[in-house]
Amino acid sequence: MHLFFDNCKNISIRGLSIPSLTEGDFRPLNPRKVKKRLASDNVELIVIYGRRRIGKTFLVLNALEGDFIYYLGTEKNNLRKFKEIAEGKFHDLKYAKEDWESVFHYLRDSVVAIDEFPYMIKEDPSVLFIFQKIVDETLKGSKTKIILLGSSISVMEDVLSCELPGPYGWGFLVHGSTLPRR
């Protein structure tokens, strides 16, 4: 998995170089920069966060092409709801067990965008470790792309700085003022 950051100042967390953005550092991102990550031959875990109404979802949806799964996190039953949405595109998924690892095993080499990821953390804090295990083990060697979006800056910064197992940090930050609209 590769990490990608745009216009960031680096800070160190757990010995990793993790960027930190402030409003003064922010430069608008465009879908081409996200598309570059989506074109990678590696599994990618991309984290995009920032205040509400700055265009995070707009950015991602404009970068995605072809088959992809977009899920808007809720406060309850995220696994069941996510699986139902994914089954709409991948019908065989109905045969998978209802756990995150089994679902993502079926979604290998797919693109998945999960918006309002903090709601999923609120429902089940272990989802952070589950997703890390999915990236490290279940999707190892695949071309799967997972994009996690969130508006709760404090929660998403905790996602980026939490003590997760494995060699990877979490990926791509957007934080600041409004993203450009077409």
| Contact status, residue 48 vs residue 173, Cβ threshold 8 Å | yes
Task: Please indicate whether residue 94 or residue 180 has the higher confidence score (pLDDT).
Answer: 94
Task: Find the DSSP H helices in the chain.
Answer: 31-38, 56-63, 78-87, 100-106, 117-123, 127-133, 153-161
pLDDT for position 162: 54
Tens digits of residue pLDDT in 138-182: 999 999 999 989 887 677 766 666 544 443 444 444 433 333 333
Residue whose tokens read 């279940």? 138
Q: What are the structural domain ranges in the chain?
A: 9-161
pLDDT for position 107: 96
pLDDT for position 93: 95
CATH 3.30.365.10 fits 9-161, yes or no: no
Mean pLDDT of the region 66-95: 96
Helices 56-63 & 31-38 angle (0-180, nearest 10): 50
pLDDT for position 151: 84
Tens digits of residue pLDDT in 14-63: 333 333 333 333 445 567 778 888 898 989 888 888 788 788 898 888 88
Mean pLDDT of the region 69-81: 97
pLDDT for position 127: 92
Asked if pLDDT for residue 103 goes beyond 90, the answer is yes
Nearest CA among 42, 73, 20 for reference residue 139: 42
